[in-house]
Chains A and B, each alone.
Chain A
Amino acid sequence: MSDKKYSKKHEWVSLEGDVATVGITKHASEMLGDVVFVELPDKGKNVEKEGQAGVVESTKAASDVYTPVTGEITETNQSIVDDPAAVNKDPEGASWFFKVKIKNKSELDELMNKADYEKFAKENSN
């Protein structure tokens, strides 16, 4: 598995072969607060980079989840739909959101590495 890449919309991507696993970052989960509802895209759906691909709601508000890559949804994580609070516990591990069979690997080059993302998140957290 490759290193994670991060988007400005606070999603992470991890690529294995041509399948990208996508979730929300730890920083995003902390900003959201207690997650109480998750909606994921349907399997087989084609999604566009930076297009809306899910919803995550905390006690405070609803937020859209975007996909940082283009492709077809091959799998979604039902466990976070059944137990939304799991998103706060392990956002960058077991609580991934969906997998995308990607079309264009170069899309990942436009994303940030961990150090750059952390800097970005810190600057944009207020």
Chain B
Amino acid sequence: MGTQKTALYDYHKSLGAKFVPFAGYEMPVQYSSGIVEEHKVTRSNAGLFDVSHMGQLLIEGNENLATELEKIIPTDLKKIKLNQSKYSFLMNEQGGIYDDLIITKVEKGFIIILNAACKNNDFKIIKNALGSKFQLTLCKNLSLVALQGPKSSEILEKTINGISSLKFMNGNKFSYNDKDIYITRSGYTGEDGFEISIPNQLVEDFAKKLIVQGVKPIGLGARDTLRLEAGLCLYGHDINESTSPIEANLKWAISKRRREEGGFVGYNKIKSDMNGSLARLRVGVNPEGKIIAREGVKIFSKDNEEIGLVTSGTFGPSVNRSIAMGYVKLNFSKPGTKVLLEVRGKKYEANISELPFYKKNYVR
């Protein structure tokens, strides 16, 4: 299987993108101004991200569909309102995470946004769980772009009338060049912003409309530093098939009714984690100096007991210091706990920190 390209590939090239292979796609990692500049402009103005590599799965069906999906997705799909989005996941029997996702209730059923590297496997898992009763479509005719940053609403409103009235984690159908597009107020940066699902043949024209208004194109590099400052998990790194949602500090994403009633794959682990068997927790880690603690760095207690592992780490351009997240044994997870990080054979002082590192400005 060769490397795939998104519909915006040539446009990225014309904007000076440097590409990297990512989940089977050639994706822009950065443009000419560099990751730090792209990060900062997203926080101060607005940035445009091509996330068309992600899966857009449409599942068509009625109330029965919600009942069936609840068996594999631990959010309250009976109470979810039309056009409301929820962060959730697919789990294995051991309570590990196959993928994290955003599920939105739409008129026809549900739209689920999936990670690029997981989408084909997710499709199989969901298809197996639902059987042949419902129509599943991984929409290859659709692109997905994210407009993120404090000026996003003001800028997008000029092109798409009415979007500024959307609330965080809510979406709606809009029209662009007489075609239906679907926009949600959501993102992966810790900023206000929108994710726009749009037919492939319209996406370049749409992107250009935003770029001429001063929006900067942003690559995967800054997407990573932005999400890490915002304390958001990157699948395959901070969460995976051997981390449970409770260990990952994502208990908030499991609806209260579902936590109490269960009835979904992986519930046994969730239940035991919530009832005292939780052994480790995902936390923020603040190195005291400039040292960068990347994925795989071991975390030690002050007494040199190995207590955990860093799963993501970088320099946070907006907080202007080194930041990381990882898992530590439960009794070392309290913010303020002093720990040591082993980088290239030397130990460096760090503190367990609350997440996010960067406070959000969502429109609720």
Contacts and interface: CB of A to CB of B under 8 A. Distances in A.
Interface in A21-59: 33-34, 36-37, 39, 55, 57-59
Interface in B267-292: 290-292
Contact of B221 (A37, A59, A62): A59
A91 interface: no
Interface string A56-70: 011110100000000
B292 A33 contact: no
Contacts of A34: 34-37, 315, 317
A59 B290 contact: no
A85 B40 CA distance: 15
B94 interface: no
Contact of B315 (A36, A39, A55, A81): A36
Contacts of B36: 34, 59, 85
Contact of A37 (B29, B34, B317, B322): B322
A84 B225 CA distance: 17
Interface string B280-314: 00000000001110100000000000000000001
Contact of B314 (A55, A59, A85): A59
Contacts of A59: 35-36, 221, 224-225, 314-315, 317
A60 B344 contact: no
Contact of A60 (B35, B37, B322): B35
Interface of B: 29-30, 34-37, 221, 224-225, 290-292, 294, 314-315, 317, 322, 344
Given A34-B36, A36-B290, 13 more contacts: A33-B30, A33-B221, A34-B34, A34-B37, A34-B315, A36-B315, A36-B322, A37-B292, A55-B344, A57-B292, A59-B35, A62-B292, A84-B290
